[in-house]
A and B are shown apart, each in its own frame.
Chain A
Amino acid sequence: DQQVKQNSPSLSVQEGRISILNCDYTNSMFDYFLWYKKYPAEGPTFLISISSIKDKNEDGRFTVFLNKSAKHLSLHIVPSQPGDSAVYFCAASEKGAGSYQLTFGKGTKLSVIP
Chain B
Amino acid sequence: ETGVTQSPTHLIKTRGQQVTLRCSSQSGHNTVSWYQQALGQGPQFIFQYYREEENGRGNFPPRFSGLQFPNYSSELNVNALELDDSALYLCASSSPTESRDTQYFGPGTRLTVL
User: Are A and B physically bound partners?
Assistant: no
Residues of B at the A interface (CB closer than 8 Å) are none
